[in-house]
Amino acid sequence: MSVGGKVITVTSGKGGVGKTTTTSNLSVALARNNQKVVMIDADIGLRNLDIVMGLENRIVFDLVDIVEGRCKPRQAMIRHKLFPELYLIPAAQTRDKTAVSPADMIQLTDMLRDDFDYIMIDSPAGIERGFRNAVAPADEVLIVTNPEVSAVRDADRVIGLLETENKAPGRLILNRVNPEMVRRGEMLSPDDVTDLLAIQLIGIVPEDENVVPSSNSGIPVTLNENSRAGLAYRNIARRLMGEKVPFMQLSESAGLFKRLTRLFSGK
Amino acid sequence: MMPDFLDRILGRTPTKKSGSMAKERLQFVLVHDRINLPPERLEAMKQEILAVISKYVSIDSENVDINLQNRERSSLLVAEIPFLKTLEGIEQDDEDDDAPPRTKADSTK
């Protein structure tokens, strides 16, 4: 690992499992813990992290402008409204993934390491050039998946690719878990998924109706103190910082039901 | 135990939850994905392995079990290939006991 800040790449293989949501929420949660954070949207041509973060109107330069020398990294960074130490380097919207190489990403992140504690890279879906760009500079890779057959299969493929590139095994974020469905046996449980993928789990994020309204308004859900998904992201951020935080009990939402059954069974 | 038994005598198959179906199906597909060997190719490989072994020894082909397994993130081929008990010497003895040589049979007639 190089000196200075840590490069963390969020990837998944399959699209739509919550990579961008994860990147934005972990970045905000780290910034709330007084960490200096810069996010890089590595999904060139399909820019998204800007709109999820509510920063879409302030883009002047982008990642490809930096790589092709049209601006300094600082000029492309957009500062977050609420956190002065949280920045975004947006993806280019009108170019494709071949505009950036894995070597470019390593060079850029090495420059950023001096000024930031965390460099958070949002990987595109897939396992091609964009994925390799995102993963090349990573000190740690977070693999996001959902408890669904397609997402788990793709996550396994990504883990296999990381192995062949001699990257550290990565840690798993199981996103959009519906505790009630797990209880009924109609959804893969966190244990099932870790059994199958055989990698370490860093977080379980429950399905939460607060997530969509949060991205609608460009305010990451982790800022919502009442959201369980928000709490899950705050916990993952603390684990990234080395803290030992116990996993959230998925059955908490069934607490009332349990109390009622106990009452009626006289226990 | 009891509900299973009831299901069996009533001729019902117990309903399997989709969560465990997902796990079983993934266990199967991931092991093939990881070594890039689809099930048909694995089958062809098995037949070839058995053909080679059969050149040297007799195999109890009814009870052959060759399959892929995962141990953590490494995959391995686990094979159980029992041989037939009828070794050549014993085979001869069996023939002597059960089917007397024709010459003997001829002589009794």
β-strand pairing of A6-11 with A140-145 = parallel
Which residues in chain A have their CB less than 8 angstroms from residue B70's CB? 198
Q: For the ranges A8-22, A216-230, B84-98, which has the lowest average pLDDT?
A: B84-98
**Distance (Å, rounded) from C-alpha A94 to C-alpha A192?**
41
Query: In Å, how far from its chain's centre is CA A173?
Result: 8
Question: What is the number of domains present in chain A?
Answer: 1
Range of the structural domain that residue B25 is part of: 2-81
Judge whether A1 lies within some domain: no
Interface test with B, best of A127, A143, A152 (most B CBs within 10 A): A152
The answer to whether residue B67 is domain-embedded is yes
Q: Can you name the residues that pair with B66 across neighbouring β-strands?
A: B79
CB pairs under 8 A between A and B: 49
Query: Strands A6-11 and A171-177: what pairing?
Result: unpaired
| A118 is a domain residue | yes
* Chain A environment of B19 (Cβ under 8 Å): 181-182, 185-189, 192
Residue B48 inside a domain? The answer is yes
* CB atoms inside a 10 Å sphere around CB A212: 11
DSSP A168: -
Summarised one tens digit per residue, pLDDT across range A38-84 is 999 999 999 999 999 999 999 999 999 999 999 999 999 999 999 99
E-only strand ranges, chain B: 65-71, 74-80
In a domain, A177, yes or no: yes
Overall domain count for chain B = 1
Residue A267: predicted pLDDT: 42
Q: What is the pTM of this model?
A: 0.84
Structural domain harbouring A234: 6-265
